[in-house]
Amino acid sequence: MMKKLIFAIVTLLMSFSLFAQTTLTLQKEITAQLLNSQHVSVSEGNQISVVTGHNQLAVTIGQIVFEDGKRRKFDSDLLVLTFDVANSQQLQLSYSTFRTIEEAKAFSSQPQLLLQDSQGNPLEFELVQLRKNGLQGFRDYQHEVAEYNSAFVNSQQSAPKQDRSTLDKDLRQSFLHMSREQQQGFMQWAMKNLK
């Protein structure tokens, strides 16, 4: 009798843990490209499962906008979000849609995304835009994110331990405030100087 009770409790806990996962719903124009450096499968409703703990999500935005009275497709550069998930919950990632190419360009120069929990509370995350000229459809996102992560890790290893969090924030803020040309120059320099 005791064995059956223990088995029933263990089975119940295991089934609960299978369903107790964090689901992230993406606004329909947002496409998940990578999750934690791996290709991600998106379920119905534009949802993905994220792990409890540290996550890195790479997304792009593709939206129809108007330019000179004509419709055209705007494709964003790769946007890399880093965030932590404390426990199983429902999350949502969105942005303010734009109608014109001018609004799309303003977004491209300073992307704004909103990550919220099921109660509508915003969650903290860090955002980096990996820019690249040319056709966006032929990019190797996995390679670009790996290069970015490698450059970021190397910059942290060279910093004294007590100053790493400050350096991390300062470095990311400086990078985000650079122009496109400055960001490209920095990334080229970082890649040439990898150890």
Q: Is residue 159 scored above 60 in pLDDT? A: no
10 found inside a domain: no
165 found inside a domain: yes
14 found inside a domain: no
3 found inside a domain: no
7 found inside a domain: no
Q: Is residue 140 scored above 70 in pLDDT? A: yes
Tell me the CB-side half-sphere exposure of residue 68, using CA atoms within 13 A: 0
Domain that holds residue 140: 22-192
Give, rounded to a whole angstrom, the gap between the first and last alpha carbons of the chain: 62
| Number of domains the chain contains | 1
pLDDT in tens, 91-131: 999 999 999 999 999 999 999 999 999 999 999 999 999 98
17 found inside a domain: no
pLDDT at residue 101, rounded to an integer: 95
92 found inside a domain: yes
70 found inside a domain: yes
pLDDT at residue 11, rounded to an integer: 45
Global pTM value? 0.68
What DSSP designation does 160 have? -
